[in-house]
Amino acid sequence: MSAYDLELDETVGPDVAVSLSGELDLTNARELEERLCAAAPPGSLVVVDLNRVVFIDSAALHVLFKVARQVRPGSLVLVLEPDAPVARTLEIVGMRDAARISSREQLENAPSG
């Protein structure tokens, strides 16, 4: 079984900030989906930091696409630096078409509201 860690930042008000690390694959994709969906109330902005994820397979990618479809358009933000271990994988599968991908700096400098 692959190890991953999900940290939920509960200090961001109505928005949800999640930090993931480790390996995301078939062995933990269902749990990942359950935890992300439980953490994200309808209508909230969901920010998921993937910079510490070292491996992601198609099952976990499917979870991210599914979550992107379930929240309102534009409300799933994946924080990902260009040199992150899974950045190229997300680029190849076209994740940018389903979710907003942003670096930490872009997110911090984005206008509020």
Please indicate, yes or no, if residue 13 is contained in any of the structural domains: no
pLDDT tens by residue, 50-78: 999 999 999 999 999 999 988 888 889 99
Q: Is 70 or 13 the better-scoring residue by pLDDT?
A: 70
Listed residue (21, 9, 91, 82) closest to 47, CA to CA: 9
Range of the domain at 88: 56-103
Q: State the total domains in the chain.
A: 1
Quick check: 38 pLDDT over 90? no
Percent of the chain with pLDDT over 70: 91
Average pLDDT over residues 27-33: 93
Q: How many helices (H) and strands (E) does the chain have?
A: 4, 5
Whether this model's pTM surpasses 0.75: yes
**What pLDDT does residue 10 have?**
56
Instruction: Report the DSSP pairing between strands 4-9 and 16-24.
Output: antiparallel
Q: Is residue 96 part of a domain?
A: yes
H/E stretch holding 106 = helix 104-109
Give strand pairing partners of 8: 18
Decide which of 61 and 46 is more confident.
61
Whether 78 is in a domain gets the answer yes
Q: Whole-angstrom Cα distance, residue 99 to residue 76?
A: 5
Closest CA to 53 of 89, 99, 77, 27: 89
Q: How confident is the model at residue 85 (pLDDT cuts 50, 70, 90)?
A: very high
Is residue 17 one of the residues assigned to a domain?
no
Within-domain flag for 45: no
